[in-house]
Amino acid sequence: MKTLEHELSGWMRARFQTLFPDTDFSGVQMEVLPATDERFGDYQCNAVMGVAKRLKRAPVEVAKLLVAECPAGVARLEIAGPGFINFHLDDAALARRLEEVQGTERLGVPEIGHGKTVVLDYSSPNIAKPMHIGHIRSTVIGNALDRLHRFLGYTVVADNHLGDWGTQFGILILGYRNYLDAQALKDDPIAELERLYVKSYERSKEDESWLHQARAELVKLQQGDAENRALWQQFVQLSLGEFAKIYARLGVGFDLNRGESFYNDQLAGVVERLQALGLAEESEGALVVKLDEEKLPLCLVRKSDGGFNYTTTDLATVLSRAKEFSPDAVIYVTDERQQLHFKQFFAVARKMGVTTRLVHVWFGLMRLPEGTFSTRQGNVIKLERLLDEAESRALALVKASSPEMDEATQREVARAVGLGAVKYADLSQNPQSLVTFSWDKALALDGNSAPYLQYAHARIASVRDKYREQFGDRRPEDSPIVLGEAIERRLAVRLARFPDVVARATSVYKPNVLCEYLFEVAQVYSTFYQTVPFLKAEEGVRESRVRLCDLTASVLKRGLALLGIEAPNRI
């Protein structure tokens, strides 16, 4: 089944082509979108302006010709202002559309990604350092993009591009040899590795010979010295073990965990290729690529000491990914501070002949409540502690709303609600705005929050249970959906938008688009629930309403699942 927007946009294009067979309309926007003001219709389109321009005719004239016919499933078209077109869907066709998707797995969401591959580079923390808020956000947002793409039928290669290579390992190895506290390493490996690094780094600033020793350790590691290699391995394993705990708790998994080190032996080749292509030149002993045309600063690809850098690694990585997976896109999810890096690296990759679509999805850093900060670094967050607190706050909510539930179930539900609240607080923000996390907002039962949607879902699911208790032998699906009341129609219009919203949230890489939609559905549902009787309605109407409830529950559950959030049937 085609989505509504797809169908209506397709009709517009075909209609103009029939009306004006000799005109080429390629490049003219024919997008039909949800109406910004529902009083004027269900969908709207301003293609007439572009078409009229190409025809050199007055928009109103063109609009009049257009609306002489109407697409299937639409009751009427209206011209507004100078030539905007408003679409009023036909009630019966709308109801049939919903009936068709009810009870299905995909709820009308098309597999537009079928046969296409995307590589998703997200989370990507650094070895021997704690994850900072940027990595947490990358993990949560990246995982939602991962789920969205998979649901749309894309083949996704989720790759955790770990920062497991670099000059810091010389300093760390030296610190480890001299200052190790074995017990501390057992208790909190990452904290101890970080302490060792900092201590050794500070000494290197005052003590020249220490710095030389650190460099020597690094060279040994890079040349494959067995002992240093083993130490490095140990750092990687310890860090991965800690990261794995966080991923398990967040319900996040990767297809690949290729760190930067994986590409180590390809770096020299990348630089040689840049030189052979005449793209790189010496500058003060270093090797750089000029990006004047792109109006970007010089891009360093080899340092003056001969070492390679972050950009060299990303170039090697993208060349390797392009070759191995032939992806349609490679998507990188990081915080906003890396924008320049990605612009430069993408520009150099293009010059090297990479044609794959490269996308940098960036987000602002989120401010966190007091107490979740570590003292030394403002944006390091103890995620464990944040999630523990979310669960205990959620447990209080669940105990209040379901005192009759047994303790184990209450805890299980509180886990889903607490985790959901934290994830949703992150996902529901426009990624490109600076936000402050607040417990009140994250756990609000009456705002745009995961608990609000989870409670709404559970309440809706219970309507179905009550129906079964009273009318056990009837199947609501045997009665048609009838959109008699205005509020039923409003809800139906929202539900029919689900496929387009999923596609849009994915194509603009913004999970918040889906969040806003789910919140709207839940709000419209709540009005529906308060306005009309369900189980007390007359036969037929009752079944139709139960079906709308059921579909609303399915949409909320599926939508939350695409965000990585559970929706328990009872809360």
Residue 85, C-beta contacts closer than 8 angstroms, at least 6 positions apart: 44, 45, 46, 47, 48, 63, 66, 67, 77, 78, 79
Which range, of 121-129, 400-408, 520-528, 546-554, touches ligand ARG by CB under 6 A?
A: 121-129
Beta-ladder partners of 286: 283
* Minimum distance, C-beta of residue 71 to ligand ARG, in the bound complex (Å): 44
Q: Select 5 or 314, whichever has its Cβ closest to ligand ARG.
A: 314
Kindly state the smallest distance separating residue 332's Cβ from ligand ARG, in Å: 5
The residue from 86, 102, 312, 334 that contacts ligand ARG (CB under 6 A) is 334
Q: Are strands 43-45 and 74-80 parallel, antiparallel or unpaired?
A: unpaired
Three-state SS for 59-97 is: HHHHHHHHCCCCCCCEEEEEEECCCEEEEEECHHHHHHH
Of 426, 502, 420, which is closest to residue 151 (Cα–Cα)? Answer: 502
Among 41, 73, 113, 163, the residue binding ligand ARG under the rule CB under 6 A is 163
Q: Which stretch binds ligand ARG (CB under 6 A): 22-30, 119-127, 165-173, 270-278?
A: 119-127
Q: Which is nearer to ligand ARG, 5 or 121 (CB)?
A: 121
**508 CB burial (10 A radius; 0-12, 13-18, 19+):** exposed
**Interface with ligand ARG includes 102 (CB under 6 A)?**
no
The verdict on 121 binding ligand ARG (CB under 6 A) reads yes
Residue 137 sits in the site that holds ligand ARG (CB under 6 A): no
Distance separating alpha carbons of residues 506 and 109, to the nearest angstrom: 12
Give the residue with the Cβ less far from ligand ARG, 374 or 526: 374
Q: Does residue 314 bind ligand ARG (CB under 6 A)?
A: yes
CA nearest 238: which of 311, 187, 278, 197?
A: 187
CA dihedral in degrees (117, 341, 139, 231; nearest 10)? Answer: 100
| DSSP reduced 3-state for 49 | helix
Closer residue to ligand ARG (CB): 39 or 376: 376
Binds ligand ARG (CB under 6 A): choice among 126, 139, 204, 429: 126
Q: Which pair of tokens denotes residue 289?
A: 């690529």
Among candidates 347, 375, 158, 361, which has minimal Cα distance to 247?
158
Length reported for the chain: 571
Q: Binders of ligand ARG: how many residues, by CB under 6 A?
A: 10
Minimum CB–partner distance for residue 124 and ligand ARG (Å): 4
Query: How far is residue 431's CA from residue 441's CA, in Å, rounded to a whole number?
Result: 17
Nearer to ligand ARG, 317 or 454 (CB): 317
As measured in angstroms, the least distance from the Cβ of 134 to ligand ARG is 7
Q: Would you tell me the crossing angle of helices 47-55 and 4-19 to the nearest 10 degrees? A: 20
Q: How far is CA 2 from the centre of its chain?
A: 24
Smallest gap from Cβ 335 to ligand ARG, in A, equals 8
Please tell me whether residue 558 binds ligand ARG under the rule CB under 6 A.
Answer: no
Complex with ligand ARG: residue 52 or 133, whichever CB lies closer: 133
Q: Which is nearer to ligand ARG, 379 or 462 (CB)?
A: 379
- Under the binding rule (CB under 6 A), the answer on residue 9 touching ligand ARG is no
Distance of CA 114 to the CA centre of its chain: 19
Q: Which is nearer to ligand ARG, 117 or 124 (CB)?
A: 124
Tell me the residue type at 454: Q
Question: Which span (24-32, 68-76, 123-131, 274-282) binds ligand ARG, by CB under 6 A?
Answer: 123-131
The residue from 3, 44, 86, 124 that contacts ligand ARG (CB under 6 A) is 124
- Those residues whose C-beta lies under 8 Å from the C-beta of residue 507, and which sit 6 or more positions away, are none
Taking the complex as a whole, how short is the minimal distance between the CB of residue 193 and ligand ARG, in angstroms? 15
**Nearest distance, CB of residue 530 and ligand ARG, angstroms:** 47
Contacts of 221 (CB under 8 A, 6+ apart): 169, 170, 173, 228, 229, 232
The yes or no reply on residue 321 touching ligand ARG (CB under 6 A) is: no
For ligand ARG, the binding residue among 332, 455, 509, 525 (CB under 6 A) is 332
311 binds ligand ARG (CB under 6 A): no
Residues that bind ligand ARG (CB under 6 A): 121, 124-126, 161, 163, 314, 317, 332, 334
